[in-house]
Amino acid sequence: MDFSLSVEEREVRDWVRTFVQRELIPLEQEVLRRERAGQPGLTGEELTKLQLKAKESGFWGVQTPEEYGGMDLSAVMAALLEAELGRTFVPFRFGGAADNILFHANDEQKQRYLLPTISGERKSCFAITEPGAGSDAKAIRTTARRDGSDWVINGEKTFITGGNEADFTMVFAVTDPEKGANGGVTCFLVDRDMGWRSEYIDTMGEWGPAALVFEDVRVPSSQILGEEGQGFALAMQWIGRGRYLLPARAIGSCERLLSMAIEHANTRETFGAPIAERQAIQWMIADSGVELDALRLLVLHAAWQVDQGMDSRHAQSVAKLYGGVKANEIVDRVLQIHGGMGYTRELPVERWYRELRLLRIYEGTDEIQRRTIARNLLKGHVKVTGMLG
């Protein structure tokens, strides 16, 4: 087992670390000011400018195939880069990416949707979650009724990431109720100007999801992505595209937070001594360090399985569950170590506190991950010996 990075991998990771340090972290105070005023942390123009600056050094389409102008990096490398981006709460992502299921588009659809999305000319969103169908994706109620050569879509989607900014959506609707999820759900590419609307959902964090409303939205059959009735398989492919990347980003957040806690513990004095000398503080630091090490290994192991072409769903569920729970415990300890100052908005700890809470909910709640993990163990799909077989 070789845990070392190659020279090239280390250089790529270090470039992103430097980019975060020089270009993103200096923006944090302004991002906080804007968010507290109810404004976006970064405008679309500012994000694009940063993305183009990264592109000048070759960082464009981190996991996009080379034939589409991307870097086509490995899953392990993508996880390492996501961890570096997690060192700041500035809402940055590299440009040149597109939803993995868009690559299933036909040639005409690729010209209208895939290529413009990769280039940054268009913005998409993935719409499957509904008010009554969250983790149970098979319970969707949005319908698409055939009317001649067209389909008429009715229904509502909720908590859709990017739904307020998107100019087109990949929406999943029931096209044959008798067939159920497997064979009765279809994915449609629907432009905003075809008639759907979005409504902003206010949350405790800075993530601003949307509700998408479809009222007799008419689309031609040419807007079907993939094949009619095969939408659920596409949805599962989208959901499983890289769940390990969510806890990967939390690694960077926790590294930064723990560093803040260590610095504060070494400088804050009570009763004539730094609080770092108090056993209660030492145990918080120790537990956080151990959990952070474990999280790195779980995330990188899941990513390694992806690179090996293995079925990594179980490993990704383990990493997602552990990452969500432990990231929240770590940020809670860091806030506690900072005392009253940690609770104020003078420090960004409370900002991370709100952001990391979402990790235990979206793209599969803790409870769903536990259900998946338990089922795999109880039915013998995975062994209790884990990665060693």
* Domains of the chain, CATH where assigned: 7-99 (1.10.540.10), 107-114+122-238 (2.40.110.10), 241-388 (1.20.140.10)
Looking at residue 388, its pLDDT comes to 67
Looking at residue 2, its pLDDT comes to 82
Residue 140 pLDDT exceeds 70 = yes
Residue 333 pLDDT exceeds 70 = yes
| Alpha carbons 175 and 224: distance in angstroms, whole number | 11
| Alpha carbons 173 and 190: distance in angstroms, whole number | 12
Residue 34 pLDDT exceeds 80 = yes
What pLDDT digit, counting tens, does each position of 287-331 carry?
999 999 999 999 999 999 999 999 999 999 999 999 999 999 999
- Residue 230 DSSP symbol: B
Known catalytic residues are 363
**pTM listed for this prediction:** 0.91
Looking at residue 237, its pLDDT comes to 85
Average pLDDT, the chain: 93
List Cα–Cα distances, 131 to 136, 185, 269, in angstroms. 11, 17, 50
Mean pLDDT, residues 88-101: 94
Radius of gyration of the chain (CA): 22
Residue 370: both structure tokens together: 């536990």
| Alpha carbons 280 and 289: distance in angstroms, whole number | 15
- What's the one-letter identity of residue 48? T
User: If residue 49 lies in a helix (H) or strand (E), which one and from where to where?
Assistant: helix 44-55
Mean pLDDT, residues 123-142: 83
| Alpha carbons 352 and 28: distance in angstroms, whole number | 12
pLDDT grade for 206, boundaries at 50, 70 and 90: confident
